[in-house]
Amino acid sequence: MTVDPRGWTIRQFREAYLSGVGVDEVIGATLAMLAAAPDGVLIGTPLYDRAGEEVESIADVDPASLPLYGIPYIVKDNIDVAGVETTAGCPGFATIAGSDATVVARLRAAGAIVVGKANLDQFATGLVGTRSPFGTPENVLRPELVPGGSSCGSAVAVALGLVPFAIGTDTAGSGRIPAGLNGVVALKPTLGRFSTAGIVPAVRRVDCPSLFARCIDDLAVAASAMSGTDPLDALSRSIVPVRPLRWPPRVGVPQVWPGDLELDDEVGKGFGVAVQRLAHLGAIIVPIDITPALELGEMLYGSALVAERTAAVGESVAGDVEGLDPTVAAIIAGGTGFTAVDAYRGEYRLAELRAACASSWSGVDVVALPTASILATLRAVRADPFGVNRTLGRLTSFVNLADAACVVVPFGDNIPAGLQLIAPAWHDEDLLALGQSYTDESLASAPKSCAIVVVGAHLDGQPLNHQLTDRGAWCRTRTTTSPHYRLHALAGTTPPKPGLRRVGGGEAGASIEVEVWSIGLTEFGSFVAAVPPPLCIGSIELADGSWHKGFLCEPWALDGGLDITDFGGWRAYLSS
């Protein structure tokens, strides 16, 4: 029987593999679909060689052992894939990547298979999806509309069912606007949750990889595999504890729309129905003033912040490389007109507007907005490329500058616009739960999780870490214990494991490197049930004085083990 994976979710891929369908057969069918994809979706041909290499690497692996075993995906072509050209939508900029971007490497480690590079607005500078010499992909819902950008190819590929998920990037709305326009779901994560190492920057301080999928569950699974701090990215961040959202949440919606911002009738109607659905789910609707947020968003293109785009790729623009889009070139070259004084004044204004936006979170948990106020046509963009692009970004550009996370879900009824659900940093999981509730029209239980401290084989990158990530756990932070512990290398364990014990009675202790992971309460139970002796779960004191459940070792098992406390942690011991 011929395999046809078009439109499959990650769950359906996993079910096929567990039933005995071969990964080579599935990926072969996916590559054939991509080869026949409409013009403008991909840059270049499908990645036959790379996909074949990855298929071979997991051919003898148990499909149940990897969370993304054999799952095909594509990446926006400003993201590096080793041995493949990265063009950023500009032929003259193209270079062969020497290594994978960190997010690509993490997905490969989870078993996923990259099968193509997606088209984009050149240098990720645009929200329309038309600023590429490689063509314009057709909007899946309405061909007369723009596909949205800059991650146009990624969104369209998912909407067509060619892959279950795709990676884009988002600085001003580049992940959210094409998701809304093509009727798919998207995650714009908290800044720093996904590494940007190996990604051509746009405005580096507020860039982030973003995710597209056909369902919320697939966003969550892919996000878990991609998350984590990265020494290659100075702007990556450890997850910090945040106050839980009230549940049902208080959802802020504009009390009035600013006078210069009008919603298309269809968008306005769809948004009104969406707000009614949220209220029906139990959300408390709270009127808010979005004027400070809109002013904050205007600064991304209307202040010295534009010079960050010049810092990223200005040399290529100044050198007039082959294939420059004139609109993109004009925007990037415009950054040279600002002075250092302009930059500092801009930073002061940014701080003021961020503070104004932050104060609004005291009364609401989530802000709900359309992805765009208009349904932009291809004809309108040809007539006014700058003005239409600016209008498309009015409701999205502030989100990264405000250090917020966002999930996009379709309005429904094939309306080519999406609903943004926005919350402060590190509420990604809460937003995914609310997005799932909206999609299901049934309020999910409040997301609940607990912390677990890991010290050895369950650390990020170590052999048993998948036992956490398979359960949707994510790393909150890397830290140390209080200086009251000793660490021992246990004898005869496979894979090798350490044992942590707390000291007392005058015995000298030390601070030991650990990671704190967040895991659901139900998942915590199944995880602990699988912990083998002599390891056990007890209470561990961290450097900040807080106590959390984590891995300790029964004292009898330490006889014959090597005291490795002086190394300061398991990773340092292994490196030695």
**Active-site residue identified among 132, 151, 154, 174:** 174
CA–chain centroid gap for 338, Å, is 32
> Is residue 530 exposed (0-12), middle (13-18) or buried (19+ Cβ within 10 Å)?
exposed
Is residue 549 annotated as a catalytic residue, yes or no?
Answer: no
Q: Between the CA of residue 109 and those of 69, 104, 106, 458, 477, what are the distances in Å?
A: 9, 9, 5, 15, 21
Q: Which of 370, 86, 70, 74 is nearest to 201 (CA)?
A: 86
Q: Between the CA of residue 217 and those of 102, 445, 462, what are the distances in Å?
A: 22, 15, 25
Contact indicator for 207, 199 with CB cutoff of 8 Å: yes
> Is residue 27 exposed (0-12), middle (13-18) or buried (19+ Cβ within 10 Å)?
buried
Return d(Cα 186, Cα 148) in angstroms, integer.
13
The answer to whether the peptide bond before residue 534 is cis (omega within 30 degrees of 0) is yes
Percent of the chain that is helix, strand, coil (3-state, to 5): 35, 20, 45
Return d(Cα 221, Cα 435) in angstroms, integer.
15
Q: Which of 260, 326, 324 is nearest to 298 (CA)?
A: 260
- H or E segment and range at residue 251: strand 250-254
Q: What is the DSSP string of 279-309?
A: HHHTPEEEEE--HHHHHHHHHHHHSTTHHHH
Is residue 76 annotated as a catalytic residue, yes or no?
Answer: yes
Our separate counts of H helices and E strands in the chain read 19, 20
- Angle, vertex CA 124, rays to CA 321 and CA 219, nearest 5: 145
Residue owning tokens 């990158």: 461
The answer to whether the peptide bond before residue 495 is cis (omega within 30 degrees of 0) is yes
Structure-block tokens of residue 339: 């002075």
Contact indicator for 187, 407 with CB cutoff of 8 Å: yes
**Active-site residue identified among 150, 224, 316, 373:** 150
- Under 8 Å CB-to-CB from 528, ≥6 apart: which residues? 537
**Active-site residue identified among 76, 117, 188, 497:** 76
Contact indicator for 451, 521 with CB cutoff of 8 Å: no
Return d(Cα 163, Cα 36) in angstroms, integer.
13
Is residue 397 annotated as a catalytic residue, yes or no?
Answer: no
Structure-block tokens of residue 31: 């590559």
User: Catalytic site residues?
Assistant: 76, 150, 174
